[in-house]
Amino acid sequence: YQDAPIVSVSSTTGQGLDSLVKEIDQMIPQIEQKEKGSFFRMYIDRFFLVKGMGSVVTGSVLNGEIKVGEEVLLLPENKQKLRIRQIERHGQKLDKVVSGDRAAFNLSGLKKEDFNRGMLLSNKEIETTQMIDAQISLFENTNTLKLWSSIIFHAGTFETQARMHLLNKDQIEAGESALVQIHLEKETVLLNKDKFIIRNTSGNLSFGGGIILNSKPLHHRKRSPKLLGELQILASSILNESNTSTLIKLQLQKENKLILDHQLAENLNMPLEELTENISSISTVLKYSKEKQNILILEQLEEDYRTQITAILKQYHQKNYILSTGLDEVGFYGKLGFSKNKIGKIYLGLLLAKMKMQNKLDLQENTWVLKEHKATIDAKTEEEINNLAQFIKAYDVRVPVSADISSWAKEHKIDQEKLRLYYRYLNQQNLLIHYKNETIHKEVFKQLKKQVLDFLYTNMENGFYIGEIREATGLSKKMAPLLLSWLEENKYLITSDYNKHNFNSKLLEKGQKEVEKERE
């Protein structure tokens, strides 16, 4: 501040005030605008009750913006939503406040016993932390600090005892800087780039201040060269705004997962607009957009997913060599860890489509296969499959019994895994009908379906009971209800008048039309 203008002012006469205002007006355009941030945060420095209004809190807005009528959370302890009834700034009512504003909120739902000093308001639930990586700078004429130091940590209105571990030095002198890991006695809510003060345990001497590099680090038990190198790059990126792209890349490497752009911006404590501007310049970061969401992923992580997808399909084709089909999209979810990951499922669909465009994959009957995959079937296998199909077909009006089929397979030296593969092949060839855990040959099913529909057509007004249908068609006691259930589910008929195992079945328009079409 050595070049700052000096203006003489008299508080009694007011002399010089006009000159002071003029100087301030000239300086305002030169002041760098404070970043708004991606979401709202404000430490509470005062809490009081106002008659007729209720709870009022005051503080300085750290990030984002908030409007009257919106909801906030009291963090870290109370996750109950509080509604903002009224906002004031310097005694004037406002509709909203933004980062840097001094504000007073009249909150609905806040009780005095809910509040403790050091808590903050936010419109987003933020994960708490009890350990941070940071860079500190000691003031001139302060004490030397050793490898481990007991300190008091201050951030906003939050204060706690803490232990500080030097990472790149064995001790730090007055006026020096160092990389540290700080272990807090109490949990709190902190973000990357937040600033703090450290004092001695008596609270009567300030050692210096610092900036948070990583608000949720692992515990660094060893001060390895790799760790120090990563932290030095991180510190340089945070302190030097021209290195924003490096900071984004480092955070993605730390996350090592799919992440939405707004989530990454929040984790970096960076405006979304700034993140968006820099993403396009990072060649190793890929961006996918769908359903109004922007998914970010490191190129190397995507390559890992591509390798996994290829390996999964290769293994599937080796086990199911006689099938021309592969896995549907759902089949990849569990294998890639996306079962409960909505963003992962969206990304997978986009990646599979991308691999198809690159001629790595293909679609067969709504399943994904490797581009080079071709089903192979030898003469012996083909004979076994045909024999299995004929065995199932021979059941005719009876429902095939699974135990009988398994016994037949064992007799012909076909193990259960191969039997399941043969089933899948017959399904793919559309030779079997699977319904309610039962298996029927397609030709038999079509024949029985025609018999039932033809019979019901003879009395469309009143229909027939199941006993009459069985007597007319020869259907077994198990096959009749199974077939009638399938026909009802597929809107060919309707059943009614239930009495134990008996019920009436009446033909619907769809069934009527099919009978009439076949009779033309």
pLDDT digits (tens, 9 = 90+) for 335-389: 999 999 999 999 999 999 999 999 999 999 999 999 999 999 999 999 999 999 9
Q: Can you tell me whether residue 236 is helix, strand or coil?
A: helix
Per residue in 261-298, pLDDT tens? 999 998 888 888 889 989 988 989 999 999 889 999 99
Element (H, E) at 369: strand 367-370
Two tokens, residue 342? 């909505």
Element (H, E) at 519: helix 509-519
| pLDDT of 91 strictly over 80 | yes
In this predicted structure, what is the pLDDT of residue 92? Answer: 92
Per residue in 193-245, pLDDT tens? 999 999 999 989 999 999 999 999 999 999 999 999 989 988 988 887 667 88
| pLDDT of 500 strictly over 60 | no
Q: Can you tell me whether residue 11 is helix, strand or coil?
A: coil
Residue 35: which of 8, 68, 61 has the closest Cα? 61
Helices 416-428 & 402-411, crossing angle to 10 degrees?
110
Two tokens, residue 178? 């160092």
CA distances from 213 to 8, 24, 267 (A): 42, 34, 11
Burial class (CB within 10 angstroms; exposed 0-12, middle 13-18, buried 19+) of 366:
exposed
CA distances from 27 to 4, 10, 179 (A): 10, 21, 35
CA end-to-end span of the chain, whole Å?
A: 100
* The Cα angle at residue 490 between residues 486 and 494, in degrees rounded to 5: 80
Element (H, E) at 61: strand 54-63
| pLDDT of 137 strictly over 80 | yes
Task: Give the span between the Cα atoms of 341 and 295, in whole angstroms.
Answer: 13
Q: What percent of the chain has pLDDT over 90?
A: 56
Do 123 and 96 meet the contact criterion of CB atoms below 8 Å apart? no
| pLDDT of 1 strictly over 60 | no
